[in-house]
Amino acid sequence: MHFNKIKYRRTLMSLLLAGSMVMGLAGCSNSADKNETENNSQVMEKEQEEDNGAAVASEASEERPTLTMWSTWRCNEQVSDPGDTAFYQAIEEACNVNLKFVDSSGGKDSLSILMGTDDLPDIIYEWDGNVPGGVQKALADGSIIALNDLMDAGYLPNFKSYLESDPEVDKLCRNDDGLYAWTPMIRLADSPLVFSGNMIRQDWLDELGLEIPTTVEEMEQVLLAFKEKKGCDAGYSVAYKDYSKFVMSYGICENFYVENDKVKYGFIEPSYKDFLTTFNRWYENGILDPDAFAQDIDAFYAKIASEKTGLVWGNTGGELGKIETMKADNPNMNFVPIPYPTLKEGEDFPVDVSNYRVNNVGMMISATCENPEAAARVLDYVYGEEGHVLANFGQEGISYEMKDGEPVFTELITNNPNGLSIQQALSFYAGSNNKPFLCDRRMMMQTYALQVQKDSLDVWSTPMPK
């Protein structure tokens, strides 16, 4: 069976069924175009030229405005107010503003109530899915402002300069009307883009004399062996009830996706029945976790710890790292990442599973903001050279040191005396963990403490369509 190559993307915005796709459902391959995108050093040189230091300095003599800010992201437990972190305090000083974080404990529901009122915070930092109807709807409704006028007037010089240097990203940042609704998190061109995949008990494969499976049929044979020889009654299990990547082995995606410029709906494609047939057979044969589509993450981990499963789907930064900690109780446990399975030996995986270079989290300026110019300085700062270093690495001499010309995290981050993870420790000083900024590969690779996590980025990214 032959499959057309499909370019799959996580939807950034809502799909308009009337016929057009809004920003984010670009559909096709998100592989970085090296001919189109400048390398990191060139980008940083251009950012330095466009840096907003002069603009900030010109504001220094003015009264320092206070901007209210909404954010439900709380990756740092050291402080209750994000404004107390070294990261935001550095932004305040650089941009000559005071940031006042409003109570966002009500989460998405509270934000839904605020949207459309005259009581919106000046800056909203949020995930697209938490904004009622999505960011583009908020723009269309007039709850937030388009950034175009501010960009044209020179108030977002770093953001504008970066987009001019990276047309691929620029297309993903503006909607069909050419409007920029927010400043999102952007992964630089050399960043890894696949952060999840299948992991298998390599120690069991070795014990049973089996090879790493590369096709769906081989996976089935391995799972049957795990059941017979190792007593697995939940052979294949998934984190967060997410089996969508397995569907892609059949050359389709769930929900809406784009193939050859045509919008398709995976659930009604003939290949979806083939997928269901396979999973039904696995369920009947007792090699598919019967709770995979209902269990919470703790139940998922419990099956791994009790050796009820030997093949799982999960994430580099979460499940793979957590599984490694289980070795304290079971030193022989050795989960390793394996490629996405195909239907036939030797063929390419038919769907590009890589993430967008533009993530679906960003900062917006509300329509009720009385000082959008000051707010623009805050949004723009991390896209300049100085802000880029702060957002990725924090403060030199504290969270990182320069070694051989490269920023390297200190032991305060990599071996935190209070037992904080790398992400937790770094989040006090830098913009780690999904904040809007230019995400640097050098930072990303250092936040993965384990070699198996670094290896997974390569293993899971290899079976992409050519």
Q: How far is it, in rounded angstroms, from Cα 127 to Cα 139?
A: 15
User: Model confidence at 353, in pLDDT bands (50, 70, 90)?
Assistant: confident
Q: Residue 373: pLDDT above 60?
A: yes
Q: Answer yes or no: do 317 and 285 share one domain.
A: yes
Looking at the structure, tell me whether residues 172 and 228 fall in a common domain.
no
Per the domain annotation, does 262 fall within a domain? yes
Domain end call among 350, 365, 389: 350
Rounded average pLDDT over 276-299 = 95
CA separation for the pair 47, 114 (Å, rounded): 35
102 assigned to some structural domain: yes
Residues 315 and 409 occupy one common structural domain: no
Residue 287: the pLDDT is 97
Element (H, E) at 337: strand 335-338
> Is the domain of 134 the same as that of 273?
no
Same domain, residue pair 305 and 165? no
What's the number of domains the chain is made of? 2
| Helix/strand/coil for 5 | coil
**158 or 328: which carries more pLDDT confidence?**
158
Residue 130: is its pLDDT beyond 60?
yes
Residues 172 and 28 sit within 8 Å (Cβ to Cβ): no
167 in the same domain as 59: yes
Tell whether 7 is covered by a domain: no
| pLDDT value of position 28 | 34
pLDDT in the model for residue 74: 62
Please report which confidence band the pLDDT of residue 115 belongs to, taking 50, 70 and 90 as the band edges.
confident
> Sorting pLDDT into bands at 50, 70 and 90, what band is 141?
very high
- The verdict on 381 and 333 lying in the same domain is no
Q: How confident is the model at residue 166 (pLDDT cuts 50, 70, 90)?
A: very high
**Has residue 216 got a pLDDT over 90?**
yes
Is 180 in the same domain as 57? yes
Give the per-residue pLDDT at 320. Answer: 85
Question: Could you tell me if residue 320 is inside a domain?
Answer: yes
Question: Which of 104-108, 230-234, 338-342 has the least mean pLDDT?
Answer: 104-108
Q: Which of 328, 350, 372 is the last residue of a domain?
A: 350
Co-location of 188 and 204 in the same domain: no
Residue 431 above 90 pLDDT?
no
In a domain, 455, yes or no: no
CATH of the domain at 385: 3.40.190.10
Candidates 238, 237, 241; CA nearest to 226 is: 237
Q: Are residues 207 and 123 in the same domain?
A: no
Does residue 146 lie in a domain region?
Answer: yes
The answer to whether position 8 is within a domain reads: no
**Do 44 and 183 lie in a common domain?**
yes
pLDDT band at 77 (very low <50, low <70, confident <90, very high): low
Structural domain span for residue 292: 196-350
Q: Token digits for 190? A: 């050399």
* Amino acid 59: pLDDT: 47
Predicted confidence (pLDDT) per residue in 33-75, tens digit? 434 444 444 444 444 544 554 444 444 445 899 999 998 876 5
Instruction: Give the list of residues 6+ apart from residue 277 with CB closer than 8 angstroms, or none.
Output: none
Examine residue 379 and state whether it is found in any structural domain, yes or no: yes
Please provide the average confidence, as pLDDT, over all residues in the chain. Answer: 85
Segment 348-356 mean pLDDT: 87
Q: What integer pLDDT is reported at residue 40 of this predicted model?
A: 44
What is the CB-side half-sphere exposure of residue 374 using CA atoms within 13 A? 20
Residues 272 and 219 in one domain: yes
pLDDT tens digits, 316-350: 888 888 898 898 899 999 999 999 999 999 999 99
Q: Is the pTM of this model over 0.85?
A: no
In whole angstroms, give the CA distance from residue 4 to residue 162: 34
Q: Among 350, 372, 407, give the residue marking a domain's end.
A: 350
Mean pLDDT of the 266-271 span:
95
Residue 21 has pLDDT above 80, yes or no: no
pLDDT of residue 51: 53
358 pairs with which residues across the strands? 186
